[in-house]
Structure 1
């Protein structure tokens, strides 16, 4: 029998790739969306008889996921990606923290009560739940799958970035607390990507509305030859590999149960991205990137992430950064 997979936040950047890959593999997918309009738009975009949606307008409302699971006892896997990424937020509690934390608790409650046939929960966390974003620990420090962001709930109200860090950290804590206290029969895996780059899963209809990660490369396309390249660095993983890791988690429960997958391939800077774009799209006439400055920035500020445990479990080759940038830029130029 074909498994039915539930994907919360199905309109998201990572979620759409998860849905696309699931459908390509022959699964039946039910996605949650915030409104009927968003659901109809997504259904047209995906255009598959094996995809349907349910409307969950507010993750924070108690019992938010109950009706969806009651109506679909055939669901075997729950992939929870729904969580706000809003670096313009001003009401950190209501716009960022509560939707992530209370939304995750609502998922856990719904699965416990109504998801009697669910075999696996895969939760989309972030590297930000692993690293020390407030630099409270002595440096240098190396982070791995066992590391935790030491942020307190009160510190999460400092700015939008710390709010996001707190939201992912405490939402994930809720997952593992549930596992510890409830000892569920279903397996649990959390996924921790770094900066997620790569193309959208489906057609880009408005390149001015790219999500935060996709827009990292998108913004560089607007630079003029005389412009200064803004300083930025991070660790890269492609969105398609991020989606693939979610699917691996439930397809290989014997390897994934209880694990936190840290997804990281390599470093990048805006200067290095610009040089990759210039190399592959010379017609754009972008400013020249300073690779010496790029290397120095990475040496001085980059995190030391050790995903060796994750790599040994997943054992698949990541899409190279250059290919990710080529695919992203090509898609944006075509829209």
Structure 2
């Protein structure tokens, strides 16, 4: 059993989707968990989900405030921190304030807090993203194989042009800041970063279709009829199930070989068209909401798509990725309970 602090939003969209599943696996693996929440009401929501498990809570109202985690990490005998709290949404009015600052200050803030106030911590795991790996300038890049060696070359100037660039930059700069902290500060702890692309899978601890993480929103849009006449472009053609991603986070505090490594976590390819086909095959009740066989769009690009190397995740963390059909089927089943 390891004493773990988990940061995340848990009951809202974005990173809370991942945090909820990480919490689930930490509990199943028998770890002692303290988790950050933004309010006592959020803590009560989680207590109800785990009535037979002792989970402790620390309230962190705003991760972008300097010193936000100073008190949260003061836990006697704390051994590991899993930091999932970072924004992923495009509802942005000010890219720096809404995306860049929360990601960068949140990540460096938690590392500073651990070094200053939690000397017993040995492992830190940080949720990053494929956004910190992918290069927009390469396009579909059928000749390129992405791996942990790749870094997004986005600049601050580009980041402020639009929310999409801003999001990718926020993940890139936050992850680079973490590695720079490790190099400059030489703390007692190691770091592992998790770099997933789109994250699908069942929703837990969520209460409404409007609060879904960005990746799952496209599946919601299929079953609510928004793609009936035209399927939008896929955009990012690789994915992972949230349960596999959550397991990667937990394995990274359990496996010695994960220390100071970056992990590119993907199960493989998908297209929006395939998502529609999986839903149609498994949920005939949505027939009237789904695009017909002759509806165009959402397919793979004609010239091919980039390759990926996920061997480090498989070999070091021992992950066997679940198939797309299971992930999407389980997701749709979970959405049926929401309104």
Query: TM-score, with normalisation over the residues of structure 1?
Result: 0.91
Secondary structure of 1:188's counterpart equals: strand
Deviation at 1:302, TM superposition (A): 3.3
Q: How does 1:4-19 map to 2 (within 5 A)?
A: 4-11=3-10, 12-19=16-23
Q: Secondary structure at 1:261's aligned position in 2?
A: strand
Structure 1 residues 277 and 170: CA distance shift in structure 2, 3 A: same
| CA displacement 1:271-323 (0-9 Å, x = unmatched) | 1110011111112112235699655x244363332222332223321111000
The runs of at least 4 aligned residues of structure 1 exceeding 6 Å deviation read: 136-139, 290-293
Instruction: Give the drift of 1:163.
Output: 0.8
Given the alignment of the two structures, is residue 34 of structure 1 paired with residue 38 of structure 2, yes or no? yes
- 1:218 counterpart residue number: 220
Q: Indicate the residue corresponding to 1:129 in structure 2.
A: 132
Residue 65 of structure 2: which of 61, 64, 69 is its match? Answer: 61
Relative to the length of structure 2, the TM-score reads 0.90
Residues of 2 paired with 1:224 and 1:10: CA distance?
Answer: 28
Pairwise CA RMSD of aligned residues? 2.3
CA apart distance, 1:217: 1.0
Structure 1 window deviating more from structure 2 (54-63 vs 133-142): it is: 133-142
Q: Which runs of 5+ in 2 are unaligned?
A: 11-15
2:264 alignment partner in structure 1: 262
Query: Where do residues 244-323 of structure 1 align in structure 2 (5 Å cutoff)?
Result: 244-253=247-256, 255-285=257-287, 286-289=290-293, 297-300=300-303, 302-323=305-326
Q: Which structure shows the bigger proportion of residues in helix conformation?
A: 1
User: Would the alpha carbon gap of residues 217 and 112 (structure 1) be closer, same or farther in structure 2, given more than 3 Å must change?
Assistant: same
> How much has 1:39 moved relative to structure 2?
2.5
Q: Offset of 1:33 from its aligned partner?
A: 1.7
Give the whole-Å Cα distance in 1 for the aligned partners of 2:245 and 2:227. Answer: 33
How many residue pairs align between the two structures? 330
Aligned mates of 1:225, 1:102 — CA distance in 2: 37
**Unaligned runs of at least 5 residues, structure 1:** none
Give the 5 Å matches for 1:102-251: 102-135=105-138, 140-202=143-205, 204-223=206-225, 227-233=229-235, 234-251=237-254
- Equivalent position of 2:2 in the other structure: 3
